[in-house]
């Protein structure tokens, strides 16, 4: 498992999947140098935590981690923000030495750098090229020698090709490139992550949530996670606050069913009302089937989880063509993850 010494827990970097172990090795190698680092990945994958990991694993760990959120910086104060950053995190482990007085051992993190417009990109390019060096730091202090780490959820190469991002700035910041994997590309880490978050929030809110069950973990691993780690953390928080999985299963199943039911092509030979009816029936069938599987075909619990009466559930089961009792053969619609371990009792 990837772990970071000298830093607070980095949730997005917990795990044993090949994808996150690869990222961990890349972060260690990046920390051994002072060259610029570009971290890319979807929103919620942990780009800022990775930037902090580079800082905390490096010789600069006793310096400051300075963050600038690029989209929020006005033109007139951009250069002042280069060292009056939006977020300044002082390391409590800084020893009582002259290191406290050396701002040139800091790490500067530019978040969502693709959001900078072209005039600000030009100013940034002049700053990182050291012209004039005094303006990339405090006016009365020494020239600022900082480690530059940038992050973006956009494709910078496409932005360069479209003329939205300067190619010279791109090559200046893209020396070491670390791409954060989406959560759906590291599903074996989901049990580790969700247990970590549930334990964290159970302690924070003084709650004792129900133990995680294998079918619920399997459901989490089947989900697409468009919000990545951040969405999983919020899901774990709701699990703790609401007391268990029964309040989350309809949300997870419904979202996945909607995604699965969305047609990739348009059928121009079938009336819209007919296509809509089929889509609704398919969606209802998947949601009901998934809930039945989760509760081992206990129809009372299934009806409660779906928010309908027991009688209405029996009617829906018949209407969408599901068997009235548990089948000995797994339905084709069942989502299974081959080779994945389960957490908790089935």
In a domain, 328, yes or no: no
Is residue 52 within 8 A of residue 7, CB to CB? The reply is: yes
| pLDDT score recorded for residue 233 | 93
| pLDDT score recorded for residue 39 | 97
**How many domains is the chain built from?**
2
Q: Note whether 221 and 194 are same-domain residues.
A: yes
| Burial label, 79 (beta-carbon count in 10 A; 0-12, 13-18, 19+) | middle
Is residue 107 within 8 A of residue 7, CB to CB? The reply is: no
In a domain, 6, yes or no: no
Q: Note whether 60 and 176 are same-domain residues.
A: yes
Q: Note whether 142 and 281 are same-domain residues.
A: no
| pLDDT score recorded for residue 100 | 38
Q: Note whether 30 and 110 are same-domain residues.
A: yes
Is residue 273 within 8 A of residue 320, CB to CB? The reply is: no
* Residue 98 reports pLDDT greater than 60: no
Q: Note whether 243 and 296 are same-domain residues.
A: yes
Q: Note whether 206 and 145 are same-domain residues.
A: no
CATH of the domain at 101: 3.40.50.300
In a domain, 329, yes or no: no
Mean local confidence (pLDDT), 167-179: 95
Domain limits at 75?
A: 11-181
Q: Which of 67-71, 120-124, 129-133 has the lowest mean pLDDT?
A: 129-133
Question: What 3-state DSSP class applies to 249?
Answer: helix
Q: What is the DSSP string of 87-102?
A: EEE--TT--SSGGGG-
Mean local confidence (pLDDT), 121-129: 83
Q: Note whether 212 and 243 are same-domain residues.
A: yes
In a domain, 137, yes or no: yes
In a domain, 43, yes or no: yes
Work out the angle at residue 195's Cα, subtended by the Cα atoms of residues 291 and 286, and round it to the nearest 5 degrees.
Answer: 15
Dist CA 89 CA 235 (whole Å): 28
Element housing 109 (H / E): strand 107-111
Average pLDDT, the chain: 77
Which tens digits make up the pLDDT trace of 281-325? 777 777 788 778 777 888 888 888 788 888 888 888 888 778 766
Q: Note whether 144 and 198 are same-domain residues.
A: no
Dist CA 205 CA 272 (whole Å): 49
* Residue 122 reports pLDDT greater than 80: yes
| Burial label, 274 (beta-carbon count in 10 A; 0-12, 13-18, 19+) | exposed
Q: Note whether 115 and 206 are same-domain residues.
A: no
In a domain, 278, yes or no: yes
pLDDT band at residue 79 using 50, 70 and 90 as cut-offs:
low
Q: Note whether 115 and 198 are same-domain residues.
A: no
Asked which of 134, 163, 181 is the last residue of a domain, the reply is 181
Which tokens in the block code for residue 26? 């890349």
Is residue 20 within 8 A of residue 13, CB to CB? The reply is: yes
In a domain, 324, yes or no: no
Percent of all residues in the chain with a pLDDT value above 70, rounded to a whole number? 69
* Residue 137 reports pLDDT greater than 60: no
In a domain, 332, yes or no: no
| pLDDT score recorded for residue 50 | 94
- Say whether the peptide bond before residue 132 is cis (omega within 30 degrees of 0): yes
| pLDDT score recorded for residue 101 | 36
| pLDDT score recorded for residue 311 | 86
pTM for the full model?
Answer: 0.68
Q: Note whether 193 and 175 are same-domain residues.
A: no
pLDDT band at residue 176 using 50, 70 and 90 as cut-offs:
very high
| pLDDT score recorded for residue 144 | 56
Which tens digits make up the pLDDT trace of 13-30? 889 999 999 999 999 999
Q: Note whether 146 and 233 are same-domain residues.
A: no
SS3 content of the chain, % helix, strand, coil (to 5): 50, 10, 40
Q: Can you name the residues that pair with 65 across neighbouring β-strands?
A: 89, 107
Residue 304 makes CB contacts below 8 A (sequence gap 6+) with 246
Dist CA 312 CA 308 (whole Å): 6
How far is C-alpha 36 from the chain's CA centre?
23
């Amino acid at each position: 498992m990837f772990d970071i010494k000298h830093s607070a827990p980095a949730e997005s970097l917990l795990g044993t999947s090949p994808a996150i172990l690869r990222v961990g090795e890349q972060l260690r190698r990046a920390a051994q140098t002072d060259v610029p680092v570009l971290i890319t990945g979807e929103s919620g994958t942990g780009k800022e935590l990775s930037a902090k990991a580079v800082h905390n694993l490096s010789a600069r760990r006793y310096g400051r981690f300075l963050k600038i959120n690029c989209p929020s910086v006005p033109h007139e104060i951009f250069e002042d923000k280069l060292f009056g950053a939006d977020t300044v995190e002082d390391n409590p482990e800084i020893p009582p030495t002259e290191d406290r007085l050396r701002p040139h051992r800091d790490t500067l993190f530019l978040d969502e750098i693709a959001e900078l417009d072209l005039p600000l990109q030009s100013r940034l390019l002049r700053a990182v090229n050291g012209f004039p060096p005094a303006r990339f730091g405090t006016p009365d202090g020494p020239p600022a020698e900082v480690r530059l780490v940038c992050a973006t959820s956009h494709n910078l190469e496409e932005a360069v090709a479209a003329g939205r991002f300067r190619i010279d700035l791109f090559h200046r910041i893209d020396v070491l490139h670390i791409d954060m994997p989406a959560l759906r590309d590291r599903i074996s880490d989901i049990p580790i992550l969700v247990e970590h978050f549930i334990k964290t929030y159970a302690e924070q809110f003084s709650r004792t949530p129900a133990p995680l069950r294998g079918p619920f973990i399997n459901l989490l691993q089947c989900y697409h996670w468009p919000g990545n780690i951040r969405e999983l953390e919020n899901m774990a928080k709701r699990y703790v606050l609401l007391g268990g999985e029964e309040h989350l299963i309809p949300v997870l199943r419904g979202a996945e069913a909607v995604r699965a039911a969305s047609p990739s092509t348009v059928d121009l030979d079938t009336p819209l009302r007919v296509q809509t009816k089929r889509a609704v029936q398919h969606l209802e069938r998947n949601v009901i089937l998934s809930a039945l599987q989760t509760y081992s075909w206990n129809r009372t619990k299934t009806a409660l989880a779906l928010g309908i009466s027991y009688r209405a559930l029996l009617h829906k089961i018949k209407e969408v063509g599901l068997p009235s009792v548990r089948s000995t053969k797994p339905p084709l619609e069942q989502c299974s993850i081959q080779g994945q371990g389960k957490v908790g009792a089935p």
